[in-house]
Amino acid sequence: MRQLIAALRKEMLLQWRTRAQILAIFVFGATSLLLFSFAVGPNSTALRLHAAGFLWLALLLSSTLALAESFQLETEQKGLEGLLLLPASARAMYYAKAIANAFQLSILGIALVPVMVVLYDVSIENLFGVFGVIVLGAAGLSAPGTIYSAMASQARAKQTLLPLLLFPLVVPVLLASVKATSLLIAGDPMGQLKSWVTLVTSFDLIYWSLCGLVFGRVVED
């Protein structure tokens, strides 16, 4: 739709203009990866084994910052409300923002891969596969994340509400993405990759449709 494209242009422009913040979030993610390694200790086998898990945890934690940041821009001068009053379709606004968030999280995830490789001494068999899983997983985080950040930005206890609501919901995304990433890093002797990728993809399809349907109810007053 024309509105979706227009809103997407705005999102991309905003992301470019606020790139300093995204850089800061990347540093946060990288620091988290560092901290995780301290939690485990200098046991290189353990670190290598769980590298995928740490990567996804770091991305999950960073996502709360990125998602909240993205909605902050909509509420400070009531930008989103202004657009909806034009009138603009809430659904188009949702998809534009969810796509932009997924894009941003994918970039974050991909940027964290070299950090993971260095800190956990990992050698990746299928790099582009890993990137693909990151995109799928980021999409899975973004769909419900965009809706929940819309709610959290208008409620009290903003910072706590978003992770509280989002984290239990994206357990399947986390499980599947970690597993798939591990298999792509270390090799997949039993051919399990397909089922994990299917899981994330199904989650993505279900939630991208569901959340688009209900977003209108969440932002109307």
Partner 1 sequence: MSDPLFDNAASEGRPVVAWVLIGLGIATLLFGSYVGLFVAPQEKFMGEVYRILFVHVPTAWNALLALTFAFGCALMFLFRGDWRWDARLEAGIEIGVVLSFLLCCQGAIWAKPTWGVWWDWDPRLTTTAVLLAAFLGILALRRFVDDPVKRATWSSVATVIAYVDVPIVYFSVKWWNSLHQMQSTPNTVSSAFHLPLRVNAIGILLLLIGVITLRTRIAKMRLREELAPPEPAAGSAMEYAPGAGR
Partner 2 sequence: MRGVSRRYGRRWALIDVSFTVPHGKVVMVAGRNGSGKSTLLRVLSTAIRPDLGTAKIEGFDLKHERDDVRRKVAILGHASYTYDELSAIENLQLMARLVGVDSSREAMLHLLNQVGLAERAEDSINTFSAGMRKRISLARVLLQKATVVMLDEPYGQLDPPGFRFIDGMVRHLRDEGVTLLMATHQLERASALCDLGIVLDRGRLTWEGAAKDLPSEGGLEPAGTPEGGP
Q: Is 157 in the site for partner 2 (CB under 8 A)?
A: no
- What one-character DSSP code corresponds to residue 191? -
Residues in 76-95 at the binding interface with partner 2, rule: CB under 8 A: 76-79, 81-88
Q: Residues 138, 62: contact at Cβ < 8 Å?
A: no
Burial class (CB in 10 A: 0-12, 13-18, 19+), 10: middle
Q: How many CA atoms lie within 13 A of 137 on its CB side?
A: 33
Q: Residues 21, 69: contact at Cβ < 8 Å?
A: yes
CA-based nearest residue to 104, from 30, 165, 16, 170: 16
Choices 7-15, 99-107, 125-133, 204-212; region in contact with partner 1 by CB under 8 A: 204-212
Q: How far apart are CA 57 and CA 145, in angstroms?
A: 15
Residues in 149-168 at the binding interface with partner 1, rule: CB under 8 A: 151, 154-157, 160-161, 164-165, 167-168
Q: Which of 29, 129, 144, 145 binds partner 1 (CB under 8 A)?
A: 144
Q: Is 207 in the site for partner 1 (CB under 8 A)?
A: yes
Q: Which does 43 bind (CB under 5 to 8 A by kind): partner 1, partner 2, none?
A: none
* Contact residues: partner 1, CB under 8 A: 144, 147-148, 151, 154-157, 160-161, 164-165, 167-169, 171-172, 175-176, 179, 192, 195-196, 199, 202-203, 206-207, 210-211, 214, 217-218, 221
